[in-house]
Structure 1
Amino acid sequence: MDRIAAMNAFVRVVEAGTFAKAADTLDLPNATVTRLIQRLEADLKVRLLHRTTRSVTVTPEGAIYYERVVRLLADLADLESSTTHAQRKPSGRIHVDVPTAIGTLVLVPALADFYLAYPDVEIDLDIGNRRIDLLAEGIDCSIRAGEVEEQFLVARQIGTFGFTTCATRAFLDVHGTPASPEQLRDLPTVGMAPSRGGRALPFQFSEDDQNCDLTVDHRLVVDDTNAYLAAGLASLGIIQAPTYSVRAAIAAGTLVPLLEDWQQQANPVHVIYPPNRYLSAKVRVFIDWVIELFEQNEHLKRR
């Protein structure tokens, strides 16, 4: 039996909660993962997992074994990473989760530079706005806009971003230009929901260091940042979008910034990753590259 493969499979089953999810993140057949765990238990002469038709839970002995195995695998990764780092050639595949707007407008356009520096690193990029379970889905690291609610994750702030309220000139010619946030209640607006079926985020404004969340009845609500920007460009209503996502349209005159005297509060951006995991060389160089990428962006660098 490949003991390291069995240990890794056991850790993934504990973290994912099911054999099927663990097999998916390991890119192995379900039967292979099951067989590895069975052989590991037989070799150790102890039951590590309680199995039912619906779930998998760890036994007391399995919990102790898990804690020790995680540290052991981390030490092995540390050893391999040190060797790889010494050779200055990080390699291998990493799985990264990133919000839609940051992924399509910031990360992907710059990836050619990353591959030029690290040609042997491969990236599986999960682009979307859903909140994922890093442990269950085998994500190496995630870029998260806004606050990080999961206290068990390691979170490192890498930047900040603000919002810009804007609309097309054609829209303003028809509906007029608002002079205050309250006037938005009487104008067509487009709302952005963080998830499908969720409530639209309020428009955020700040005056004299006082933050104000304005909730309005939108004529249209979408749950995708690309669609949100498209709606604004189609003159469907006033939008409030991350500044980095509309700066090109504003520079081109396609969108007109509004209510600039009412500043919007800054929102943090973090890179997060699971605890009890040693950052391998391939993940570490990617995170370092992302930090530098954000620092070079006027609308995303940390303030």
Structure 2
Amino acid sequence: MDRIAAMNAFVRVVEAGTFVKAADTLDVPKATVTRLIQNLEADLKVRLLHRTTRSVTVTPEGAIYYERVMRLLADLADIESTTTHAQRKPSGGIHVDVPTAIGTLVLVPALADFYRAYPDIGIDLDLGNRRTDLMTEGIDCAIRAGEVDEQFLVARQIGSFGFTTCATPAFLDAHGTPAAPDQLRDLPTVGMTPSRGGRALSFQFSHNDQKGDLALNHRLVVDDTNAYLAAGLASLGIIQAPTYSVRGAIAAGTLVPLLVDWQPQATPVHVIYAPNRYLSAKVRVFIDWIIELFEQNEHLRRR
């Protein structure tokens, strides 16, 4: 039995939750994963997994084994990655998931610098605002705004960003300028929903020790950050957008900041990855580059 392959298969099953999904991420037949786990349990003389027709759960012995195997595989991968990196530059493809606005406005414009440093790495970049499953979709790392609550994932905070409430000069000339958050209830606003068919996010405000969410009856709700920005610039209503996404428009005078004394609290940004990805050399250098990119941006650096 290939013990390393069996350990890796076991880890994938635990994290994916089913043999089928684990086999997909390993790109091997389900029968191969089943055989590896059965041989591993037979060799260890202990049951690691409870199997039913609907799900797979870890036994108490399996949970202990999982934690120890994770450390062992991570150490092994680190040794191999370090040795490979010493011999040549990182190469190969990586699959990265990024929110639309961060990908469009931050990552893509800076990727030329990354490729100059690492010309042999290819990036498959998924842009969107849906919550992806790293394990089942074969994603090496993802950038997430907000708190991270997924189990079995490593999360490193790489930055944070604030929000700015704003509108066009033409809109303010037509509707007036609000002096307090409650006045937004009487003005046209544009809402953003993080997923298709979901509920629009509340506008958030913080002033001294006062914090609150303001649910509004928006005249327009969109599920795409580019469309959200476009709606604000088209004078369709007041928007509350990440500061890094509107700073150019504010500098150009096409958007005007509102309620500047009521700034929402900063939102953390994390890079996340599954422990069984082991941070290979190609993923490691990409994450290091992302961290430096955020640190150089005054609107995204970690607070």
Question: Could you give the per-residue CA deviations for residues 195-214 of structure 1, whole angstroms, max 9, x where no partner exists?
Answer: 33333222122333533332
Counterpart residue type for residue 143 of structure 1: I
Q: 1:163 to 1:63 in 2, by over 3 A?
A: closer
> What is the Cα deviation at residue 276 of structure 1?
7.0
- Decide whether aligned partners of structure 1 residues 7 and 151 sit closer, same or farther in structure 2, where only a CA change above 3 A counts: closer
Look up the match of 1:251: 251
Letter paired with 1:51: R
Q: Report the CA distance shift for 1:57/1:264 in structure 2 as closer, same or farther (over 3 A).
A: closer
* CA deviation profile, 1:32-84 (whole Å, cap 9, x unmatched): 44454455556667654443332223345544543443233222202111202
Q: 1:226 to 1:20 in 2, by over 3 A?
A: farther
Partner of 2:171: 171
Residues 158 and 271 in structure 1, CA contact (< 8 A), matched pair in contact too: yes
Note the residue ranges of structure 2 that are not aligned, 5 or more in a row.
Answer: none
Tell me the matched-pair count. 303
Q: Do residues 215 (structure 1) and 231 (structure 2) align?
A: no
Change (3 A) 1:175 1:88: same
Q: CA RMSD in A?
A: 2.8
Quote how far apart the aligned CAs of 1:244 are: 0.9
Q: Residue 298 of structure 1: SS of its match in structure 2?
A: coil
Tell me the equivalent position of 1:23: 23
1:11 aligns to what? Answer: 11
Q: CA deviation at 1:186?
A: 0.5
Give the letter aligned to residue 85 of structure 1: H
Q: How far does residue 107 in structure 1 lie from its aligned partner after superposition?
A: 1.2
Q: Residue in 1 aligned with 2:109?
A: 109
Unaligned runs of 5+ in 1: none
| TM-score, length-scaled by structure 1 | 0.86
Matched residue, 1:201: 201
Amino acid at match of 1:245: S
Aligned residue identity for 1:158 = I
The answer (yes or no) to whether the contact 1:15–1:136 under 8 Å persists in 2 is no
Compared CA separation, residues 30 and 113, structure 1 to 2 (3 A):
farther
Question: What is the alpha-carbon distance in structure 1 between the residues aligned to residue 167 and residue 221 of structure 2?
Answer: 16
1:235-260 deviations in Å (ceiling 9; x for gaps): 22111000111122233333232233
Structure 1 stretch displaced more, 275-284 or 8-17: 275-284
Instruction: Output the TM-score relative to the length of structure 2.
Output: 0.86
Matches within 5 A, 1:125-136: 125-136=125-136
Secondary structure (helix, strand or coil) at the match of 1:53 reads coil
